[in-house]
Structure 1
Amino acid sequence: MSHPDRTPLPMLDKRRRGIYILPNLFTTAALFAGFYAIVQAMNNRFEAAAVAIFIAMVLDGLDGRIARLTHTQSEFGAEYDSLSDMVSFGAAPALVMYEWALQGLGKLGWIAAFIYCAGAALRLARFNTNIDVVDRRYFQGLPSPAAAALIAGMVWVGLDNGFSGDELRWYACALTIFAGVSMVSNVLFWSGKDINLRRSVPFIVLIALVLAFALVSSYPPGVLFGLFLIYAGSGYVLWALRWRKRRLHRAGAAATSEPPSPQNNDASAESGADAASDPGSKP
């Protein structure tokens, strides 16, 4: 008996391996933004490079959602997106930061940039292999777009306040290493994937969104850098709270499993002897 409502397996395999224009168009635009950031950094136009990295973040967030909404997910799109992320959020931020601030540190400068670049590559490889294993509510390690936002945000804020890269090179070095190590850590960061965009929300939520856009537009460099800096720290705060909770739980479990002290045993033995010598005591 045939089932007309079921899609044949060859057609499903073709869809999974197909190439679709719309989502890959956004992925290509994100790749171009990352490449543009590298070119602008080589021409000492660091503010344009930082803005291009933020634009790549927006485009990278759209391609996957568009693919899911239009049912155009494919293995090609997933692999292409990972390669685009490596350029836009791995190589581009590392080179922009190196050209702006780390170049004057010599070996330490390019080592810090390489730690970030390698961390982004390892982060993307681990994400692709563990995509069906980890809890979708959390990211294992700092997401590469958020790490790129830390780098680009610092460059943008520094330039906007009149600082040169040489003046902030030690802070830039510490932030670059922090971002690279955070990407390969086991610290969990909230992913936001449990938010249902199709569900109705109270009117106050729309007001909050309007205020958020107004806040970002008031001073984009500082607000964006501050938001992603808070997000990067939130994972470590949650990790510390979980560690403290586990420690208290283990201490409580150890306290309940301790054997009775010798004094309690002697007291129990004495009370038992008194009860046996008293004929009126209850059995």
Structure 2
Amino acid sequence: METGKKIHKLERADRGRKGIYILPNLFTTGSLFAAFYAIVQATNGFYEHSAIAIVVAAVLDSLDGRVARMTNTVSDFGKEYDSLVDLVAFGLAPALVFYAWGLKDFGKIGWLTAFIYVATTALRLARFNTQDTKSDKYFRGLPCPAAAVLAATTLWTVQSYGLTGTWTVVTALLVMILLSAAMVSSFPYRSFKDLDLKNRVPFMTLLALVLVFVLISFDPPVVLLLLSVGFALSGPILWLFGKKPESSDIADEDDFEADDEVTEIGTTVSGVDKL
């Protein structure tokens, strides 16, 4: 009888583990909602609202993973859900918003540029999902949330200052092309995942964060745009000046290909030995 009770408890515990964690996935869903809102606002012509919504989506996306790790609620479901939402929030949403804002003026070139942005976002996410996670210090290629924020803050700045003219739509085209190339590049970008928010930090670090928030409060679109541009340029700068991270600090999908080849050879040799 007692054994039966124990089995029943184990079954209930197993059913509980098969559920999904609400807290981190709530942030992910919020990111999806913000992206959908951005697309809707773009169709209505409210491009500034769209830009702000994409920035909000990026903020929520940066929180879901950290919340999952801090609360020990990391799950395979959460990882897959987050990846799908990222494609919508940082691939489809920016591309459709930019197409509605200025790319449509270029006709076929415009919608093809928007598609290329979506495709490179998908490729960037696929590469990230298959990378060796031996180090969290660097990303290979510009992360798609950072690319989306740069695109969004560009649009936000243009709309905020009421800038118009042919150069604005040309800017939209160039931004999409450059960001697409950056996402599938091999430039190293700091991930900041190695920063532990639970540990103590130097006083100057805290002071710097306070100053950043103060600056953002003065002119959010411009300051966020400058920060985004600075981060986007950090990869090429590291590459050009030879300050490349060590191979152990950056993940590369080539490691997986090599492992697969070794496994294949090993399997073949084993088969020959058996014969």
User: Is TM (by shorter chain) over 0.5?
Assistant: yes
Matched, 1:53 2:51: no
- 1:140 corresponds to: 140
- Structure 1 alignment gaps of length 5 or more: 1-9, 245-283
Point out the more displaced range, 123-132 or 33-42: 123-132
Q: Secondary structure at the match of 1:71?
A: coil
- 1:70 corresponds to: 71
Q: Distance in 2 between matches of 1:13 and 1:141?
A: 39
Distance 1:115 1:19, change over 3 A: same
Distance 1:165 1:103, change over 3 A: farther
TM superposition shift of 1:243 = 8.0
| Greater relative CO (CA pairs within 8 A, separation 6+) | 2
Matched, 1:214 2:214: yes
Distance 1:165 1:138, change over 3 A: farther
Please, what is the CA RMSD of the aligned residues? 2.4
- Structure 2 alignment gaps of length 5 or more: 1-10, 245-275
Distance 1:140 1:14, change over 3 A: farther
Distance 1:131 1:21, change over 3 A: farther
Distance 1:239 1:16, change over 3 A: farther
Q: Distance in 2 between matches of 1:136 and 1:77?
A: 18
Q: Secondary structure at the match of 2:189?
A: strand
Q: Larger C-alpha radius of gyration, 1 or 2?
A: 1
TM superposition shift of 1:203 = 2.4
Distance 1:104 1:16, change over 3 A: farther
Number of residue pairs aligned between Structure 1 and Structure 2: 237
Distance 1:131 1:18, change over 3 A: farther
* Partner amino acid, structure 2, of 1:49: S
Pairing of 1:46-195 with structure 2 (within 5 A): 46-132=47-133, 135-164=135-164, 166-195=166-195
1:54-95 CA-to-partner distances (Å, cap 9, x unmatched) read 000111111111111111111110000011111110000001
- 1:202 corresponds to: 202
Distance 1:81 1:16, change over 3 A: farther
Q: Secondary structure at the match of 1:168?
A: helix
TM superposition shift of 1:206 = 2.1
TM superposition shift of 1:13 = 8.7
Distance 1:194 1:15, change over 3 A: farther
Q: Secondary structure at the match of 1:196?
A: coil
Q: Distance in 1 between matches of 2:17 and 2:77?
A: 8
- 2:41 corresponds to: 40
* Structure 1 length-normalised TM: 0.78
1:168-195 CA-to-partner distances (Å, cap 9, x unmatched) read 1112111111101111111111111222
* Partner amino acid, structure 2, of 1:157: T
* Partner amino acid, structure 1, of 2:163: F
* Structure 2 length-normalised TM: 0.80
Q: Distance in 2 between matches of 1:75 and 1:227?
A: 32
* Partner amino acid, structure 2, of 1:39: V
Q: Distance in 1 between matches of 2:234 and 2:61?
A: 22
Q: Distance in 1 between matches of 2:77 and 2:94?
A: 25
